[in-house]
Structure 1
Amino acid sequence: MTALHWFKSSYSGNDGPDCVEVALDWFKSSYSSNEGPDCVEVAIAAAPAAVHVRDSKARDGDQLAFAGSAWAEFLGFAARR
C-alpha cells in the first residue's frame, strides 16, 4: 500500500472553517522498472481532473500535474511512437 500525500485544497481559506485537505494515492507506472533509473509514480485526482507525476526515488521532490485532457493526449502520442 502506498502512502497518501495530503495537501490543502486550493478552495480552502487560510483561516476559518473552510479548510479542506485532499490526498493523492500514488502508484508506480507500469512502464517503470523495479530497480533502475526509470521510476515514475502517478496519482489521479478526480476534481479537478488531473494526473500528478513524480520520481519514485525522490518522493518529496518536485511533481508535475497535467490536466486530464493533456494527459490523455500525451498517452495517445506515446502510443503512436
Structure 2
Amino acid sequence: RVFREFEGCTVREYLRRIRLRRAIDRLASSNEPLAGLAYDCGFSDQSHLSRELKASVGQSPRQLRNILQRFSTTGEA
C-alpha cells in the first residue's frame, strides 16, 4: 500500500516498467539476440518480451529495434 501511494503503481507494475525500459535501451543500442536480451532483462523468454512490448508500445521487439536504431543513426524516426 505504501509503495503504491508513493510510486503510483503496484510493485509488480513498477518492476514491469523497469524491465521494459531496460529492454528498450538494449534494443536501441545493440544487435544482441532477442532471446538472451529478454532473459537478461527479466522476461521468461522472447515471446514474453514480445507480448509486453506489444501491449506497452504497440511494436514487436524487432520492429522497435529497427525504429530506435534508425532514429539513433539518422536523428529522425
Bin for the TM-score computed over the shorter chain: 0.3 to 0.5
User: 1 or 2, which has the higher helix percentage?
Assistant: 2
Please give the TM-score of this superposition, normalised by the length of structure 2.
0.34
Higher relative contact order (CA 8 A, sep 6+): 2
More strand by share: 1
Which is higher, the Rg of structure 1 or of structure 2? 1
